[in-house]
Amino acid sequence: MLRSLGQRPVTGGGEDPRAVELRTAVSRLRRELAALPAEFPDRAIAEDELAALAAMAAGGSPEIPRLRRSLLLVAAAIGSVSALARGLRDVREAVDLFGGPTRPDGTAPFTAQPPAPAHTPADR
């Protein structure tokens, strides 16, 4: 019945499995970031946005634009730290479970279409 509304079933504990996945991925990346001895300029931004993502996941029904904004800020802050690449990918994949990116008006953003095949003289 819920599937017709575009919703996903919840786990036996009443939690949305997407929120559980997001919470798990964010927790893992937060631990990896805390264990990283290197300092980098935007570490505090990454920590703040990961805390925001964790709070949204705990809330159960996060706003997709806010999820994507936090993901973008985390990626910008730690994107060049290769030791965190897998954890960042996992968070991105968990955010994607909530749906693709949308514009503020709710429409899908432009996606590039593959170019049309070029015609050769033999085609004519």
pLDDT digits (tens, 9 = 90+) for 88-122: 999 999 999 988 665 666 665 544 445 555 665 66
Question: Which residues, other chains included, contact 101 with Cβ-Cβ below 8 Å and sequence gap of 6+?
Answer: 64, 68, 108, 109
pTM greater than the 0.75 cutoff: no
b/e code 43-77 from CB counts within 10 Å (16+ = b): eeebbebbebbbebbeeeebeeeebbebbebbbeb
- What pLDDT score was predicted for residue 109? 56
Per-residue pLDDT tens over the stretch 30-82: 999 999 998 888 999 999 999 999 999 998 778 899 999 999 999 999 978 89
